[in-house]
């Protein structure tokens, strides 16, 4: 007998039919003698509909505290409905909201972090042989106010439960049946990855693979929770995410694309010491995370700096840079939103110089020009024009994955 | 400066437009310097939609515990949206769910009773000058599980807050602008009642006037909370419900109709001592509340008993009576669902014998025959055929109210 945590996303619980299907999966494992904790997202597009209702009430943006009260109702509905579906199959079940399940968070409304999970209630319900259905994505802060964890937050709830209760496995059920070497909608010969390390998964997640939420993978790595990404629509085995994956040779795990970014070009800077510090410090003060950076070589005492950021930070970043105009005395600051980042991910990329050459060659053969390059321990990223992104993913995937 | 509790029903908060209108009412009173606590129901038919979702999942009826989790999400959504609408008008507001607001109840899921209201959080938010928007209809039991109060439960929430915080006034906003002498859809010359006692309101509420929930009126009477029933759609003053209403003469407050009832006839009973006790004790064991009772005079050692109950209790009541067939040795038990009760309500009816005569005369003139009669301190009820109910209300109203 073991403890299994199962997380179901919005499409997996979208309607009565899907809820019954998911309940059947759960009851099947319960009858095998496992203890089961289920974490559930809001049904289908319910969260979006609630956000639209709020936008109609206050187009300038409602307070984040009230947004969290509103949005958390979505998981409350899906959790109770799923508990009902399980009960209807003759299996005891109980739904718990974030505040009942013991999720204590900070007060960063709409993007709260879990400070600790107090699992007494969950344990007590498991001891009573109940399937415990937890409303994902939500907790309470020190004032007993409802907080939510941001998009993909139910993954984080599930991993937190698995970590705290030392579950044998944390299964993340989604509408795809695993992690692929590239987006299968884009690259038809993309292959499912049977097993992948946390770090590789983290790179793929943060690079836009959109299967698993980055924070949940970080937490799984930290507490060594074995994850399985699988589909609630098929019986196929999914992708296992764990610490040690035996490898004989350097393996490219996958190719990811991210289009939610902008590049900023600051040109004609006086090449004085500390200019890079000034720029990136100011951006950090504005809460802007900088991804790739290129600093061109000095010429006639002038230099250029380019970097990429999240697309939604662009306006704020330009404002921050403009506020430095007097002290930096640059010529111009420009931005480009029509860009995309393509990355290959795999353990050991850093020690294989051939990877970069192969990637650039593949892009070159498709006539795609590279705007910026960045390398890391297990990834290699390039920025290209947005229009070239999908072809670029295909080109790189074909070059590396047979 | 005073404390005002305002409760808004589902139609008053049905959409963004209505929410904004209601927020304007609230902000208006806040700006006059009042402390405001708002209690809110779920939007429009949202509760019904949630109940339908549950019925789709489990047609045999989901567990009441999970029903309460599900249904309470409706008020969570409306409370947060209303808080947002108030904030959007520049007025500080905070939404509180039942468990945050301190509503402690018994564990009678879907029809829980408030054991106590611990008002610390509400008081703290008022001290911070927030408008406090409470999700009505919900609380938690001793296990920290969500409970709901049954239909009309938000009225009870509002009165509980008003009683505990000793509010100066508790305003119940609904889609009618007060309590009328009869249903205005039925009797065109029905008049709004400016002021009415708790007892009179209680009779009107329990007799089917459907404006105020009976439990909330009982609680208001117990804690002497002054209620005002008014419309959120107009600025008209509503109906005040309070303890002492000065009267010069006997006043008929209103005429009510109730069609949710059945009558049961047990005929050919042996007229032995204790038969009435046996019957009504057995019904009480089944949780069936008996309203009117008629016991016909004995003739040749045989007697009949007739009584009225809620329509939904009819099948259960017949079963309960049949289980007594051996010990009571009656001839037959029959029931009639096509009946209605018409009642006139007013303080001092008992001491004015002329009221009964006038009511019977009015019905007689319209050719309506009376099946059963019951009198009380402040009401006089008759049971008639359902088809005669609307004409009967008109006849009685015309006779008493000019």
The predicted-structure confidence for A34-84, as pLDDT tens digits, reads as follows 999 999 999 999 999 999 999 999 998 899 999 999 999 999 999 999 999
User: Per the CB < 8 Å rule, is A145 touching B73?
Assistant: no
Chain B residue with the nearest C-alpha to that of A102:
B144
Short-list A146, A145, A174, A134, CA closest to A71 = A146
Q: Where are the alpha helices (DSSP H) in A89-129?
A: 98-101, 120-127
pLDDT for the residue B246: 63
Q: Of A112-121, A292-301, B180-189, B213-222, which range is least confident?
A: A292-301
Task: Work out the minimum CA distance from B350 to partner chain A, whole angstroms.
Answer: 51
User: Per the CB < 8 Å rule, is B84 touching A66?
Assistant: yes
User: Per the CB < 8 Å rule, is A146 touching B57?
Assistant: no
The pair of structure tokens assigned to A286 is: 């504005």
Q: Of B115-119, B123-127, B349-353, which range is least confident?
A: B349-353
Q: Is the pLDDT of residue A93 over 80?
A: yes
- Whether this model's ipTM surpasses 0.85 comes out as no
Mean pLDDT of B227-254: 82
Task: Work out the minimum CA distance from A128 to partner chain B, whole angstroms.
Answer: 14
Task: Work out the minimum CA distance from A274 to partner chain B, whole angstroms.
Answer: 44
Short-list A261, A293, A256, A190, CA closest to A392 = A256
User: Per the CB < 8 Å rule, is B84 touching A62?
Assistant: yes
Nearest to B57 among A73, A85, A144 (CB): A85
Contact B141, B202 (CB under 8 A): no
| CA separation for the pair B26, B171 (Å, rounded) | 11
Nearest to A73 among B76, B83, B99 (CB): B76
> 3-state DSSP call for residue A38?
strand
pLDDT for the residue B247: 56
Distance set, CA B78 to CA A49, B28, B341 (Å) = 14, 20, 36
Nearest to B66 among A63, A69, A84 (CB): A84
pLDDT for the residue A235: 85
User: Per the CB < 8 Å rule, is B100 touching A145?
Assistant: yes
User: Per the CB < 8 Å rule, is B84 touching A60?
Assistant: no
Distance set, CA A146 to CA A101, A113, A114, A376 (Å) = 13, 12, 12, 38
Nearest to A69 among B20, B76, B88 (CB): B76
Q: Detail the DSSP E strand segments found in A41-168.
A: 93-96, 103-105, 114-117, 131-135, 138-140, 146-148
Q: Of A16-25, A262-271, A348-357, which range is least confident?
A: A348-357
Task: Work out the minimum CA distance from A55 to partner chain B, whole angstroms.
Answer: 10
Mean pLDDT of A269-291: 83
pTM confidence score: 0.80
Look at A204 and B80; give whichever has higher pLDDT. Answer: B80
Q: Is the pLDDT of residue B248 over 60?
A: no
Q: Is the pLDDT of residue A184 over 70?
A: yes
Produce one character per residue of A213-228: b if its CB has 16 or more CB atoms within 10 Å, e if not. bbbbbbbbbeeebebb
Residues of B in contact with A50 (CB under 8 A): 77
User: Per the CB < 8 Å rule, is B73 touching A73?
Assistant: yes
pLDDT band at B380 (very low <50, low <70, confident <90, very high): confident
Chain A residue with the nearest C-alpha to that of B23:
A57
Q: Is the pLDDT of residue B101 over 60?
A: yes
Residues of B in contact with A51 (CB under 8 A): none
| CA separation for the pair B41, A374 (Å, rounded) | 55
pLDDT for the residue A249: 61
Q: What is the DSSP letter of A130?
A: P
Q: What is the DSSP letter of B94?
A: E
pLDDT for the residue A297: 65
User: Per the CB < 8 Å rule, is A66 touching B95?
Assistant: yes
User: Per the CB < 8 Å rule, is A69 touching B83?
Assistant: yes
């Amino acid at each position: 007998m073991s403890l299994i945590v199962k997380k179901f996303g919005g499409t997996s619980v979208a309607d009565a039919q899907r809820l019954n299907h998911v309940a059947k999966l759960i009851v099947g494992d319960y009858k095998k003698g496992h203890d089961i904790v289920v974490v559930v997202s809001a049904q289908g597009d319910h969260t979006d509909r609630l956000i639209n209702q709020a936008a109609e009430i206050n187009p300038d943006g409602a307070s984040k505290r009230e947004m969290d009260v509103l949005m958390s109702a979505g998981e409350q509905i899906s959790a109770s409905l799923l508990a009902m579906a399980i009960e209807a199959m003759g299996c005891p079940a109980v739904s718990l909201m974030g505040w009942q399940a013991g999720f204590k968070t900070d007060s960063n409304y709409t993007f709260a972090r879990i400070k600790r999970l107090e699992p007494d209630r969950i344990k007590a319900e498991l001891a009573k042989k109940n399937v415990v259905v937890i409303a994902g994505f939500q907790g309470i802060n020190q004032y007993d106010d409802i907080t939510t964890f941001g998009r993909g937050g139910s993954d984080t709830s599930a991993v937190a439960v698995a970590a705290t209760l030392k579950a044998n496995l944390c299964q993340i059920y989604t509408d795809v049946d695993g992690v692929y070497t590239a987006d299968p909608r884009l690259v038809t010969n993309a292959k499912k990855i049977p097993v992948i390390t946390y770090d590789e998964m983290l790179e793929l997640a943060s690079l836009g693979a959109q299967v698993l939420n980055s924070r949940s993978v970080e937490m799984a790595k930290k507490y060594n929770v074995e994850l399985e990404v699988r589909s609630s629509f098929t019986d196929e085995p999914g992708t296992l995410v764990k610490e040690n994956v035996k490898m004989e040779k350097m393996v490219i795990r996958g190719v990811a694309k991210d289009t939610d970014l902008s590049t900023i070009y600051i040109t004609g800077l006086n090449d004085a010491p500390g200019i890079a510090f000034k720029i990136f410090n100011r951006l950090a003060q504005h809460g802007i995370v900088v991804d790739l950076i290129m600093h061109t070589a000095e010429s006639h005492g002038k230099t250029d700096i380019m970097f990429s950021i999240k697309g939604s930070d662009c306006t704020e970043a330009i404002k921050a840079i403009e506020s430095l105009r007097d002290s930096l005395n640059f010529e111009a600051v420009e931005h480009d939103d029509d860009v995309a980042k393509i990355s290959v991910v795999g353990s050991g990329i850093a020690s294989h110089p051939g990877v970069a050459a192969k990637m650039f060659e593949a892009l070159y053969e498709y006539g795609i020009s590279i705007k910026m390059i960045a390398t890391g321990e297990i990834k290699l990223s390039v920025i290209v024009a947005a229009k070239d992104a999908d072809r670029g993913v295909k080109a790189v995937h074909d070059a590396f994955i047979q």
